[in-house]
């Protein structure tokens, strides 16, 4: 897999063609503007009320009218192949020059086949696995007529209160960069227009994950060094991997809305990163420049967005870009600026072959969506994503042969919708394997499996903006005391309890931030009640962020973080619990003890009084419950003989770091060896530990392997606020290699100026 800087460089198919130039010369101003507008296409009832995305009554009719006059360049949220073909025909027939539309969709972690949520995929630390997962998603999407996906989300997230942490790769810029590049490669293939692939749309440019207080949509205030060193690298990796699209963000970045920020979208994205694809706003973000009190009105918003670097406006209705004709006439927008954005859209349509093959094969689409190999890939991903957080006394794996009665407890254990997680829109619940399903299928008639939810599924304090709420498993009017008593009696009669707890899928994601990270509702009380029976309890967590586990960790010996594991998630969890699969996932974020510690991450500077680093609070340790990179295994690993060669060198040279990794158990397993670096002195203070390399190593029982890393100028280079630019210092460097960010095996090397 890619190491520290081994990211794929793929040239995007952004060069223009004679066809595009001839078409561009023939288009009227109105047709050009139409190419820059993407409409949501919602099939809601005619009496739909307004909502956060606007008034939806009559919206489909309005969009279809725009299609008939060449007034739309793209549509969003169409997934039925017959409907795609119908609307494509309307667009081609309605356009004076027969231009097809791009169909976009939120394919975040699968279309019909649902993989673990992105934060779970990142926990595999397996770039090849992640690339395969998004290749499956791309194949299914392209088969139904989707050309473009609004993924991957590559925002760094260091505050788990932020609901969209579930969509990204966590806190670290290196891991985030490797995951971002893998997803782009999976979606797009080697080149834009590859058969069965789609345009990737990394989002949200940039800094969106640093919203104040973890509150979605709130402003972001980032120092330059954080922007360049932490939040930008995953976008750089996505661009280098060939991403054809970038989505601009909603929020203010340092006082300037991201979707109207020319420095951000032109100087940084196109200049510093070299991006040559097209930029789309997030939903209604161009018009929202007025909401920000940044633009004077919709016409001003359109000018500011386009001239900042936005090429396409995503909107529900009444696009701000509809005012661009007047702006062109009075000189606020130049013809060249308009043409450049239109050219970028047409180039992508040409690269995808839409002018020659605009329609999809509806029969072929059904076959692609039903492929068993896709479900197998989803199960493998769920098996590799799970993280074994705690396993005192080797409570796991469970011995199926020794069990006669198994009690499955908790409101999420038999919830197909929650097993899939958020951000799925074409799922098939009938084929989703819940954790209860998986355990029952695994044990068959070897053991009796009882199920009691114990409590009602928790309810959000405020309804979801997307109205995704589904009722809990206990019917209204049921007596909670009776339900809890049934769960306790079931636990008392069992040989083992498997408690499946966490957050329902609508409690996380967009507009789903939390100020409290405790287990929602009465789940902790349920866990404590079943544990009090004396029956051994294993906790399986379903969530997309760290939850408050101090009480739970004191109650149960084993905790498996399953994330939202997807279509075949229950089968994967069963194989993990019973030892057919050895857990190998590692945390992509730091797991705090409580919400009062956040934001918390591993790459902090030494600062004042380093001896007090773990005691910054007088009422709580300032160390995490589980460190970044943590993840246990049923196997045991030892790190030995760490070497750095040469021990000194020049600033433009590299050192080779080697370590022997041994499996010192009688069980095969996989370990993620992690290299952390610290620079002792230089132009700026540098973090105590930064992840600078990792390798995922499969080792048979008793086997050993030498793991090699290279630490060169790219790994030592950073942006310094002292010089307002990139530096590579002469210094002494500490190196640690181990299984998480607390690794103790240490070496050092020196870099000289000469």
The domain spanning residue 139 has which CATH number? 3.20.20.300
> Is 271 in the same domain as 355?
yes
Is the per-residue pLDDT at 14 higher than 70? no
- ∠ at Cα 717 (711, 720), nearest 5°? 150
Quote the distance between the C-alpha of residue 675 and its chain's center: 23
CATH number at residue 682: 2.60.40.10
The confidence score (pLDDT) of residue 80 equals 95
Reported residue count of the chain is 754
Label residue 475 by pLDDT band (50, 70, 90).
very low
- 136 and 48 part of one domain: yes
397 lies in which domain range? 383-592
Structural domain includes residue 3: no
How would residue 60 be classed by pLDDT, with cut points 50, 70 and 90?
A: confident
Does the pLDDT at position 747 exceed 70? yes
pLDDT exceeds 80 at position 10: no
Q: What is the tens place of the pLDDT at every residue in 67-117?
A: 999 999 999 999 999 999 999 999 999 989 999 999 999 999 999 999 999
17 in a domain, yes or no?
no
Asked if 466 and 510 count as a contact pair (C-beta separation under 8 A), the reply is: yes
Question: Among 189-203, 408-422, 471-485, where is mean pLDDT lowest?
Answer: 471-485
pLDDT at 622 over 50: yes
Least confident range from 308-312, 430-434, 617-621, 663-667: namely: 617-621
pLDDT at 330 over 80: yes
Q: Are residues 217 and 252 in the same domain?
A: yes
Q: Examine the domain organization and report whether 580 and 650 are in the same domain.
A: no
Task: Return d(Cα 209, Cα 297) in angstroms, integer.
Answer: 28
Indicate whether 214 and 341 sit together in one domain: yes
Half-sphere exposure for 403 (CA within 13 Å, toward CB): 28
Beta-ladder partners of 211: none
State the pLDDT confidence band at 472, using cuts at 50, 70 and 90.
very low
pLDDT reported for residue 603: 96
The answer to whether residue 5 is domain-embedded is no
Identify whether 582 is part of a domain.
yes
- Any idea what the CATH number is for the domain that residue 465 is in? 3.40.50.1700
Q: Which of 282, 414, 418, 729 is catalytic?
A: 282
The yes-or-no verdict on residue 240 having pLDDT over 50 is yes
pLDDT at 617: 85
pLDDT of residue 460: 65
342 and 434 together in one domain = no
Q: Is residue 624 part of a domain?
A: no
Q: What is the mean pLDDT of residues 375-397?
A: 98
CA distance 390 to 631: 8
| Among candidate residues 366, 401, 421, the one where a domain is terminated | 366
Is 62 inside a domain boundary?
yes
Mean of pLDDT over the chain: 93
The verdict on whether 282 is a catalytic residue reads yes
Q: What is the pLDDT of residue 461?
A: 65
Same domain for 206 and 284? Answer: yes
pLDDT at 4 over 50: no
On whether the CB atoms of residues 451 and 438 are closer than 8 A, the answer is no
In the chain, how many domains are there?
Answer: 3
Say whether both 568 and 671 belong to one domain. Answer: no
Within a domain: 653: yes
- What is the rounded distance in angstroms from the CA atom of residue 53 to the CA atom of residue 465? 9
- How confident is the model over 559-613, as pLDDT tens digits? 999 999 999 999 999 999 999 999 999 999 999 999 999 999 999 998 888 777 7
Dihedral angle of Cα 327, 332, 336, 341, to the nearest 10 degrees? -60
Judgement on whether residues 457 and 539 belong to the same structural domain of the protein: yes
In the prediction, which pLDDT does 678 show? 98
Task: Answer yes or no: is 474 within a domain.
Answer: yes
Segment 667-717, tens digit of pLDDT: 999 999 999 999 999 999 999 999 999 999 999 999 999 999 999 999 999
Mean pLDDT along residues 407-428: 95
Residue where a domain terminates, one of 338, 366, 394? 366
**Confidence grade of residue 462 (pLDDT, cut at 50, 70, 90):** low
- In this structure, the answer to whether residues 305 and 350 fall within a common structural domain is yes
Q: CB within 8 A of 277, min separation 6: which ones?
A: 12, 14, 243, 244, 245, 246, 344, 348
Are 359 and 390 found together in one domain? Answer: no
Say yes or no: 412 and 294 in one domain.
no
Q: Which of 336, 366, 396 is the last residue of a domain?
A: 366
């Amino acid at each position: 897999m890619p190491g520290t800087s081994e990211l794929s460089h793929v040239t995007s198919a952004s060069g223009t063609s004679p066809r595009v130039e001839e078409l561009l010369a023939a288009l009227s101003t109105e047709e050009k503007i139409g190419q820059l507008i993407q409409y949501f296409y919602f099939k809601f009832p005619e009496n739909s009320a307004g909502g956060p995305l606007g008034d939806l009554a009559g919206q489909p009719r309005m969009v279809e009218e725009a299609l008939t006059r060449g007034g739309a360049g793209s549509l969003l949220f169409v997934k039925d192949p017959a409907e795609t073909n119908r609307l494509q025909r309307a667009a081609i027939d309605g356009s004076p020059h027969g231009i097809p539309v791009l169909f976009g969709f939120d394919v975040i972690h699968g279309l019909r086949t649902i993989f673990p949520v992105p934060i779970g995929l990142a926990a595999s630390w397996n770039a090849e696995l992640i690339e395969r997962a998004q290749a499956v998603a791309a194949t299914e999407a392209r088969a139904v007529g989707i050309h473009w996906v609004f993924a991957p989300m590559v925002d760094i997230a260091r505050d788990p209160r932020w609901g969209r942490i579930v969509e990204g790769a966590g806190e670290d810029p290196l891991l985030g960069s490797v995951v971002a590049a893998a997803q782009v490669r999976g979606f797009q293939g080697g080149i834009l227009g590859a058969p069965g692939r789609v345009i990737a749309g990394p989002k949200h440019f940039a800094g969106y994950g640093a919203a104040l207080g973890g509150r979605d949509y709130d402003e972001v205030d980032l120092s330059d060094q954080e922007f360049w060193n932490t939040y930008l690298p995953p976008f750089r990796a996505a661009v280098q991997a060939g991403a054809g699209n970038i989505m601009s963000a909603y929020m203010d970045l340092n006082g300037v809305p991201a979707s109207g920020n020319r420095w951000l979208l032109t100087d940084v994205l196109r200049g510093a990163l070299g991006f040559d694809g097209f930029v789309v706003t997030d939903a209604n973000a161009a018009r929202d420049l007025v909401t920000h009190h940044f633009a004077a009105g919709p016409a001003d918003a359109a000018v500011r967005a386009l001239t900042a670097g936005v090429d396409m406006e995503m909107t529900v209705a009444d696009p701000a870009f509809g005012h661009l004709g007047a702006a062109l006439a009075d000189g606020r927008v130049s013809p060249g600026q308009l043409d450049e954005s239109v050219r970028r859209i047409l180039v992508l349509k040409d690269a995808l072959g839409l002018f020659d093959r605009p329609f999809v094969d509806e029969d072929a689409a059904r076959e692609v969506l039903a492929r068993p190999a896709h479900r197998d890939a989803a199960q493998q991903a769920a098996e590799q994503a799970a993280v074994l957080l705690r396993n005192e006394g080797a409570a796991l794996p469970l011995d199926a042969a020794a069990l006669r009665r198994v009690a499955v407890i908790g409101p999420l254990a038999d919830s197909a919708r929650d097993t899939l997680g958020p951000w799925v829109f074409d799922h098939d619940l009938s084929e989703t394997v819940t954790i209860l399903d998986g355990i029952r299928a695994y044990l068959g008639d070897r053991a009796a499996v009882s199920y009691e939810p114990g409590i009602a599924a928790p309810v959000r304090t405020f309804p979801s903006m997307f109205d995704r709420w589904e009722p809990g498993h206990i019917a209204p009017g049921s007596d909670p005391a009776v339900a809890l008593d049934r769960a306790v009696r079931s636990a008392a009669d069992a040989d083992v309890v498997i408690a499946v707890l966490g957050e329902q899928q609508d409690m996380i994601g967009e507009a789903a931030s939390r100020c409290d990270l405790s287990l929602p509702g009465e789940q902790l009380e349920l866990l404590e009640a079943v544990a009090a029976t004396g029956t051994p309890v294993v906790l399986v967590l379903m969530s997309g962020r760290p939850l408050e586990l101090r009480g739970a960790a004191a109650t149960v010996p084993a905790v498996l973080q399953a994330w939202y594991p997807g279509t075949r998630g229950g089968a994967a969890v069963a194989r993990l619990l019973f030892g057919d699969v050895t857990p190998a996932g590692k945390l992509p974020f730091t797991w705090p003890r409580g919400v009062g510690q956040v934001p918390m991450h591993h790459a902090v500077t030494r600062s004042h009084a380093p001896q007090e680093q773990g005691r910054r609070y007088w009422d709580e340790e300032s160390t995490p419950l589980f460190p970044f990179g943590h993840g246990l295994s049923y196997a045991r690993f030892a790190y030995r003989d760490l070497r750095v060669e040469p021990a000194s060198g020049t600033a433009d040279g590299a050192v080779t770091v080697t370590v022997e990794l041994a499996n010192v158990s009688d069980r095969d397993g996989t370990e993620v060896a992690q290299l952390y670096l610290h620079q002792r002195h230089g132009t700026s203070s540098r973090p105590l530990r930064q992840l600078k390399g990792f390798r995922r190593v499969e080792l048979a029982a008793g086997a050993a392997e030498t793991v090699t890393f290279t630490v060169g100028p790219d790994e030592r280079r950073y942006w310094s606020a002292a010089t307002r630019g990139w530096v590579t210092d002469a210094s002494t460097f500490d190196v640690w290699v181990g299984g998480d960010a607390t690794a103790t095996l240490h070496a050092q090397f020196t870099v000289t100026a000469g």
